[in-house]
């Protein structure tokens, strides 16, 4: 068998794969997500996702909300939660499967400074993986670029399998026994949001997940961490915080990072069980950025059993 050349374009039966940050992150050409994808394209797409874990698929125009929901539903049971209701606001994208990640209000205007939704969305600028604060975790997220600002606003990724591989054996020792607590409220506060009251806190109890897990699609071990990680079961707070901060810093070193530069019409699909990601700043008081996300879960969840981020 010939060794694989990591940064070369390759043809599958149905599309072309171009590595963007070898050996992970790839751009796929030859699929248009505004059309139904074929059974063989789906099989090949899943295989590319298993290996590359972050994939961009470009279209001349972004898929409609309906097209977006249709193709991402092929990758797993879709999240159908509603965003938490913020008093006095209405939904801009009226589909429960789609999370509106824009800086725009229901009239399509840039949020004003006081809008609490803007502050909440800025928590996306912390390194995270989507929905680690639920027992039933997110697998794939699919983010579609409808309006892309002229500069900034890359989405950055790190490959948590490569991170695990790169940890020295002495540092790996014992980590596989640890269980991490993840809380939605932890990252809201870390991102500069207000402390929740007891009632708010009760609406989103924390979840527990192993710090190191097997990423089944690739058969590689990965660290599973996020800005939502707030403790380690059985450890005191300061010791847990120190380890989480150390591992987050290790995981987000430049050699692991792929920065996605958006083109309008791109759909970026990532595997939350093998990566962390973050939004990066842009002039969100001047330019519109319209991004819409669907999310697959490990298993289907009961209607009304969840919500965003």
- Residues lying near Mn ion in the complex (CB under 5 A) are found at 130
Q: Which residue is nearest to Mn ion (CB)?
A: 130
Residue 293 in contact with ligand OGA, rule: CB under 6 A: yes
Residue 294 in contact with ligand OGA, rule: CB under 6 A: no
Which of 59, 132, 139, 141 is close enough to bind ligand OGA by CB under 6 A?
A: 141
From ligand OGA, Mn ion, none, interface partner of 101 (C-beta below 5 to 8 A by class): ligand OGA
From Mn ion, ligand OGA, none, interface partner of 247 (C-beta below 5 to 8 A by class): none
Contact, 254 vs 136, CB < 8 A?
no
Q: Which residue has the tokens 């972050």?
A: 54
Three-class secondary structure of residue 145 per DSSP: strand
- Calculate the alpha carbon distances from 173 to 162, 168, 233, 235, 240 in Å: 17, 9, 17, 16, 16
Smallest distance, Mn ion to C-beta of residue 138, A: 9
Spatial CB neighbours of 206, under 8 Å, sequence gap ≥ 6: 133, 181, 182, 183, 186, 230
From ligand OGA, Mn ion, none, interface partner of 78 (C-beta below 5 to 8 A by class): none
From ligand OGA, Mn ion, none, interface partner of 204 (C-beta below 5 to 8 A by class): none
CA neighbor of 147 nearest in space, from 80, 115, 100: 100
Which of 137, 188, 220, 277 is close enough to bind ligand OGA by CB under 6 A?
A: 277
Partners of residue 104 on adjacent β-strands: 110
- Which positions lie near ligand OGA, rule CB under 6 A? 101, 124, 130, 141, 143, 155, 277, 279, 291, 293
């Amino acid at each position: 068998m010939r060794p694989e050349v990591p940064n070369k374009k390759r043809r599958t039966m149905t599309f072309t794969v171009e590595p963007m940050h070898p050996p992970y992150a790839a751009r796929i050409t030859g699929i248009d997500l505004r059309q139904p994808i074929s059974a063989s394209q789906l099989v090949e797409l899943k295989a590319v996702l298993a290996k590359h874990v972050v994939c961009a698929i470009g279209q001349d125009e972004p898929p409609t909300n309906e097209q977006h929901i249709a193709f991402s539903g092929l990758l797993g049971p879709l999240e159908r939660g509603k965003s938490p209701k913020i008093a006095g606001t209405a939904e801009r994208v009226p589909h429960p499967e789609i999370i509106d990640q824009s800086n725009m209000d229901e009239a399509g205007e840039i949020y004003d400074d006081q809008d609490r939704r803007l502050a909440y969305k800025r928590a996306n600028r912390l390194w995270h993986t989507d929905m680690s604060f639920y027992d039933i975790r997110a697998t794939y997220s699919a983010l579609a670029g409808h309006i892309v600002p002229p500069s900034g606003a890359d989405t950055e990724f790190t490959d948590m399998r490569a991170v695990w591989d790169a940890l020295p054996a002495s540092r790996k020792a014992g980590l596989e026994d640890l269980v991490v607590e993840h809380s939605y409220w932890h990252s809201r506060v870390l991102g500069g949001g207000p402390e929740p009251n007891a009632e708010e806190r009760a609406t989103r109890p924390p979840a527990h997940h192993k710090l190191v897990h097997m990423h089944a699609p690739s058969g590689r071990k990965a660290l599973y961490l996020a800005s939502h990680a707030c403790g380690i079961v059985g450890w005191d707070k300061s010791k847990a915080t120190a380890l989480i901060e150390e591992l987050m810093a290790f995981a987000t070193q430049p050699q692991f990072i792929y920065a996605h530069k958006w083109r309008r019409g791109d759909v970026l699909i990532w595997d939350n069980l093998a990566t962390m990601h973050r939004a990066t700043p842009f002039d969100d008081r001047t330019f519109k950025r319209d991004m819409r996300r669907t999310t697959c879960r490990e298993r289907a969840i009961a209607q009304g059993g969840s919500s965003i981020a």
